[in-house]
Structure 1
Amino acid sequence: MKQVIFIAAIALLTTTPARSQALVDPSKVAPEYREAAEKRRAEQIRQRECALKADLEKVLPRDRTVYLNHCLDAMAAKQ
């Protein structure tokens, strides 16, 4: 039994934490894909802004998707 606990502890300690997706850097993309990279970066920034608003307003996890979709729709309507 001690061996199982020891192996489980080692497995937990050796795992790396999950990282969020980094923002796309259009300057590091081939010129023919730069426009798409700029659009993706703008979308990522909008998503992060909405996620930050959800965190600040302490939206419950069950309501978060609805809140984020509404926020993104509202931002798209402004533009």
Structure 2
Amino acid sequence: MKQIICIAAITLLAAAAPARSQTLVDPNKVAPEYREAAEKRRAEQLRQRECALKADLDKVLPRDRTAYLNHCLDGPVAKP
């Protein structure tokens, strides 16, 4: 009985889909009237990813990561 429970637990863990991050918005796949908003959202997503990458490179501890990301995102916005 114990073996069956172990096998069932392993099967459940193996079958569970991994969590995925939010994909980048593609402004070309959005209706024309929403394209401007999609471009703004994509720019914000890129800023968030850049700050997260900086946090990884600076080896920020998990307990300090939120403060680090907030400080990074509150910084000056780079214009392309």
Indicate whether the TM-score tops 0.5. Answer: yes
Following superposition, the deviation at residue 13 of structure 1 comes to 0.8
Following superposition, the deviation at residue 75 of structure 1 comes to 3.2
Distance in 2 between the 1:73 and 1:14 partners? Answer: 40
Matching of residue 28 in structure 1 with residue 29 in structure 2: yes
Note the residue ranges of structure 2 that are not aligned, 5 or more in a row: none
SS in 2 for 1:2: helix
Query: Which residue of 1 is the match for residue 61 of structure 2?
Result: 60
Following superposition, the deviation at residue 3 of structure 1 comes to 1.0
Q: Which runs of 4+ in 1 moved over 6 A?
A: none
Distance in 1 between the 2:33 and 2:11 partners? Answer: 46
Q: Percent identity?
A: 69
Distance in 1 between the 2:76 and 2:56 partners? Answer: 17
Between Structure 1 and Structure 2, the one with more helix by share is 1
Note the residue ranges of structure 1 that are not aligned, 5 or more in a row: none
